[in-house]
A and B are shown apart, each in its own frame.
Chain A
Amino acid sequence: MNTRAQVRLLDGRRLHLHDGPIDIVLEAFGQQAEIENAYHAAGVRFSSILDELCRELPRLRKSAGECGPFHSIVARRMLAAVLPYTASTFITPMAAVAGAVSEEVLHAMTEAAHLSRAYVNDGGDIALHLSPGEEFAIGMIELPENPSLLGTVTIAAASPIRGIATSGWRGRSFSLGIADSVTVLAHSASAADAAATIIANAVDLPGHPAITRVPAYELAPDSDLGSLLVTQCVAELSAGEIHGALENGLATAGNLLDRKLIVAAALSLQREVGLVGQNLMATPHLESLAHA
């Protein structure tokens, strides 16, 4: 237990967990006593996660091919989520940290209580619990500062989806690509987190002068991305360029879909959207973008 971690009931329903860079909002559904048990378990489990991760942090920032094995269960989830990508690209377990933390907190809750539904949202990387017959409606927004609904997704218990993650260069983590956002639905939050990072990196126009890139270490000396160039600014692109960059991302997303690493993905770049995966993401509310 540490004394930093903050656990607060937000509005009588949701629980807010905060420790260092981790901010989680979660909610459980079911009988009141079960919800209380779940929230208690979430708080207890959460309070040691950051310390566990930080003990292994230097190695978690190394390339996934050469960093393991790890003691902490969260670190192991992170590594497992990025391993499928190590052959083809540089990736560290940090690419899946938020999703893995969500998953672990959700796991603690479902172990401790019988819940009909639950979600754990760690900065947009969401782990879901659905008992048979239940479903969640999830809204996607393109840009947090201009929250117009990009689309809604209904996830039923029968679907394999239990994780949602979003990545993009405007987010808190660095991206090598230029996607405003890539939202991935996958079988777990950590898998979605890693895949969103990979796809967002692939939405790119290598060498394009409208894109400002900076070595990651210049921005954050301890970044796991080291000297890799991370996107800092993307100027207005032509329709053809947007299309080309999205095609690059869609090709990668299609590949991940074929390998069953993801269930679906929505890619957004300068008000254009590309979709991969099954029809459950088929109806984004594109007209809402007209207000952007």
Chain B
Amino acid sequence: MAESDIIRCDACPVLCYIKEGRTGACDRYGNRNGQLVRLDPHIVLDRAVSRGDSLVPFLEHNKEWDGNLLGSHEQFVTAIGAGTTYPDYKPAPFIISSQLHGVDTVTVVTEGIFSYCGIKLKIDTDRHLGAECSIVRAQGEAVGHVTTNEYGSQMLSLGGVRHLTGGTRREGTVTCDTLLNLCNGKPAELEIDGGAKVTVQAGKPPVVDGVLEERMRVGCGSATIGMFARQWQGKVDDVVVVDDHITGVLSEHQAGKLLGIPETGIRIKGRRSTPGRYFKVAEPGTSWGGTNISDPLSIVEGFKPKIAWPGLRLLMVSTTGEHFAYFELNEHLQPIEKDLPEALQQSVARIKENCEPALCTVLFMGGAGGSLRAGVTENPVRLTHSVRDALTRVTCGGAPVYVWPGGGITIMVDVSLMPENAFGYVPTPALVAPIEFTLKLSDYAALGGYMDHVRPLESLLNNQRLGSSAHRVGEP
């Protein structure tokens, strides 16, 4: 190894020589690609980053802080790497004052240990992943369950205190591991009892039973009829949009009626909701429109002879445009499959085109309990009130959070907006997540803050050598 690969750390008087990829005697500072970096970094996000701009180079080695960047860029200190202990009887590790929009503000920065925490996982797919309330497993351990479906998406609720600490040791460890991976943007393999195997990763399309899910449905079957009815008019006599939720039939649907499309006498299986809208045409599955059918005609019971006519043109299509088939009735009013006419190809392509890319999205959800709040103020409930009154802004690793109404400080945050590897864990097991409370200095004093621990932002930046590690903040 060449001499140049060795750097000398000046973080303390030991002055370690550190080789590339190694750490010094303290295990805190290391040599990463020839740069001295703090390996448990306090990540300082420039607000510009969250607007999608590039990261401002920060406190490079051998470079003095010039102070000006602060005023012009509104540096914001995140809690990542701030450290914590539990319970937090002591003031939070960093209580920092700075000016934001010309107002003296305080940011209380800590890493919270969240025993009560979990993930709400949204998987954009209409494929049936498992029945509601089914157990979701990772490595064979129960880590969560299937919860209420949302529009075009299957929802899983993972983690929570019951799996983390209420079950066996291994259940807790696997749950913690799964949450940690998903929160840190890594993939996780999940298996649903009586359902599918899915590979999920924040910001990436899901893989359902080995098949990459590329698109969300454009809408339910009924909505699809409404959206495309005008484009089908005159080119086809009837359209069935197959959907596990609501299968739509153009000729019976309100949209078809308004366009004056005549009845075709088609009879669809399932339970008719309102005209042209059918529930339960088949069982849920991973094929046509999230049903289990591979032959679309299996949901067609037949045609009423008094109404239907030979030569009737029928398009059957799924809500993603992924599956489609075209039929014409013969003299016995039996549907015969034919090639899709060119005029209809366009409408099928348009369904596809209007489907958004399917993604998995991970929202971390946790509660900032009494102890964590005590690290912020001597009078914890005032912090809760202050958050509720919108005097205090809560962020996680600099990312905006949604604070649930009601008691406590229960938050949800999109992990993809947070810096890379923002989450850690403790063997409890529980997740460690950064959390920052920002408020006006005067408000902080009023709620019983640790005023003697407040220090100016500059002092933190100058005294700590911070590593600016990779960020995925602001990625589209």
B89 to A12, Cβ gap below 8 A? yes
Query: With a CB–CB cut-off of 8 A, which chain A residues contact B85?
Result: 10-11
> When each residue 152-181 of chain A gets 1 if its CB lies under 8 Å from chain B and 0 otherwise, what string results?
000000000000000000001000000000
A57 CB–B CB distance under 8 Å: yes
Given contacts A8-B90, A11-B87, A20 and B13 within 8 Å (CB-CB): yes
A50 CA to B19 CA, complexed, in Å: 22
Partner pick for A21 among B14, B87, B89, B90, CB 8 A cutoff: B14
Most buried by A among B6, B15, B26, B427: B26
Query: With a CB–CB cut-off of 8 A, which chain B residues contact A4?
Result: 12
A286 CA to B6 CA, complexed, in Å: 44
Give the residue name and chain of the A residue nearest to B27 (CB): A172
Given contacts A11-B87, A12-B90, A19 and B12 within 8 Å (CB-CB): yes
> When each residue 1-14 of chain A gets 1 if its CB lies under 8 Å from chain B and 0 otherwise, what string results?
00110001111100
Chain A: interface size category: 20 to 34
Partner pick for A220 among B1, B13, B22, B427, CB 8 A cutoff: B22
Given contacts A20-B14, A21-B25, A21-B26, A220 and B19 within 8 Å (CB-CB): yes
A8 CA to B6 CA, complexed, in Å: 33
A127 CA to B15 CA, complexed, in Å: 27
Q: 17 new A-B pairs (CB below 8 Å) besides A54-B14, A172-B27, A219-B19?
A: A3-B463, A4-B12, A8-B90, A10-B85, A11-B89, A20-B12, A20-B14, A20-B26, A21-B24, A50-B12, A50-B14, A172-B25, A219-B22, A220-B18, A221-B17, A221-B19, A222-B17
A11 CA to B375 CA, complexed, in Å: 11
A69 CB–B CB distance under 8 Å: no
B11 CB–A CB distance under 8 Å: yes
Interface residues of B in 25-42 (CB under 8 A from A): 25-27
Query: With a CB–CB cut-off of 8 A, which chain A residues contact B13?
Result: 20, 50-51, 54
A147 CB–B CB distance under 8 Å: yes
Q: Which residues on A are within 8 Å of B, measured CB to CB?
A: 3-4, 8-12, 19-21, 50-51, 54, 57, 147, 172, 218-222, 291
A179 CA to B87 CA, complexed, in Å: 34
Q: Could you show 24 A-B contacts with beta carbons less than 8 Å apart? A: A8-B90, A10-B85, A10-B90, A11-B85, A20-B13, A20-B14, A20-B25, A21-B24, A21-B25, A21-B26, A51-B13, A54-B13, A54-B14, A54-B15, A57-B14, A147-B427, A172-B27, A218-B1, A218-B19, A219-B19, A220-B19, A221-B17, A221-B19, A291-B169
Instruction: Please give the number of chain B residues whose Cβ is less than 8 angstroms from any Cβ of chain A in the complex.
Output: 23
B461 CB–A CB distance under 8 Å: no
B16 CB–A CB distance under 8 Å: yes
Tell me the minimal C-beta distance from A60 to chain B in angstroms. 11
**Leading 6 A-B pairs by shortest Cβ distance:** A20-B12, A54-B13, A21-B26, A21-B25, A221-B17, A222-B17
A222 CA to B15 CA, complexed, in Å: 9
A21 to B19, Cβ gap below 8 A? no
> When each residue 295-310 of chain B gets 1 if its CB lies under 8 Å from chain A and 0 otherwise, what string results?
0000000000000000
A54 CA to B17 CA, complexed, in Å: 14
> When each residue 78-118 of chain B gets 1 if its CB lies under 8 Å from chain A and 0 otherwise, what string results?
00000001010110000000000000000000000000000
Tell me the minimal C-beta distance from A287 to chain B in angstroms. 15
Give the residue name and chain of the B residue nearest to A291 (CB): B169
Query: With a CB–CB cut-off of 8 A, which chain B residues contact A147?
Result: 427
A172 CA to B26 CA, complexed, in Å: 8
Q: Which residues on B are within 8 Å of A, measured CB to CB?
A: 1, 6, 11-19, 22, 24-27, 85, 87, 89-90, 169, 427, 463
Query: With a CB–CB cut-off of 8 A, which chain B residues contact A219?
Result: 19, 22
Give the residue name and chain of the B residue nearest to A3 (CB): B463
A10 CA to B93 CA, complexed, in Å: 11
Query: With a CB–CB cut-off of 8 A, which chain A residues contact B24?
Result: 21
Most buried by B among A8, A9, A51, A220: A220
A218 CA to B21 CA, complexed, in Å: 12
A51 CA to B89 CA, complexed, in Å: 31
Give the residue name and chain of the A residue nearest to B427 (CB): A147
Query: With a CB–CB cut-off of 8 A, which chain B residues contact A291?
Result: 169
A3 CA to B14 CA, complexed, in Å: 15
Give the residue name and chain of the B residue nearest to A222 (CB): B17
Tell me the minimal C-beta distance from A50 to chain B in angstroms. 6
A8 CA to B375 CA, complexed, in Å: 13
Query: With a CB–CB cut-off of 8 A, which chain A residues contact B18?
Result: 220
A181 CA to B13 CA, complexed, in Å: 29
Most buried by A among B19, B25, B85, B463: B25
A219 CA to B26 CA, complexed, in Å: 14
Give the residue name and chain of the A residue nearest to B13 (CB): A54
B15 to A220, Cβ gap below 8 A? no
B90 to A220, Cβ gap below 8 A? no
Tell me the minimal C-beta distance from A236 to chain B in angstroms. 22
A18 CA to B53 CA, complexed, in Å: 36
A219 CA to B18 CA, complexed, in Å: 8
Query: With a CB–CB cut-off of 8 A, which chain A residues contact B6?
Result: 221
Query: With a CB–CB cut-off of 8 A, which chain B residues contact A11?
Result: 85, 87, 89-90
Query: With a CB–CB cut-off of 8 A, which chain B residues contact A12?
Result: 89-90
Tell me the minimal C-beta distance from B112 to chain A in angstroms. 16
A147 CA to B19 CA, complexed, in Å: 30
Tell me the minimal C-beta distance from A172 to chain B in angstroms. 6
A220 to B17, Cβ gap below 8 A? yes
Give the residue name and chain of the B residue nearest to A219 (CB): B22
Given contacts A20-B26, A21-B24, A172-B25, A220 and B89 within 8 Å (CB-CB): no
A21 CA to B1 CA, complexed, in Å: 25
Query: With a CB–CB cut-off of 8 A, which chain A residues contact B463?
Result: 3
Query: With a CB–CB cut-off of 8 A, which chain A residues contact B90?
Result: 8-12
A166 CA to B24 CA, complexed, in Å: 20
Tell me the minimal C-beta distance from B462 to chain A in angstroms. 10
Tell me the minimal C-beta distance from A233 to chain B in angstroms. 15
A11 CA to B24 CA, complexed, in Å: 29
Query: With a CB–CB cut-off of 8 A, which chain A residues contact B15?
Result: 54
Tell me the minimal C-beta distance from A228 to chain B in angstroms. 17
Given contacts A9-B90, A11-B85, A21 and B12 within 8 Å (CB-CB): yes
A103 CA to B388 CA, complexed, in Å: 50
Tell me the minimal C-beta distance from B27 to chain A in angstroms. 6
A221 CA to B9 CA, complexed, in Å: 12
A57 CA to B15 CA, complexed, in Å: 10
A218 CA to B19 CA, complexed, in Å: 8
A4 CA to B10 CA, complexed, in Å: 12
Query: With a CB–CB cut-off of 8 A, which chain A residues contact B27?
Result: 21, 172
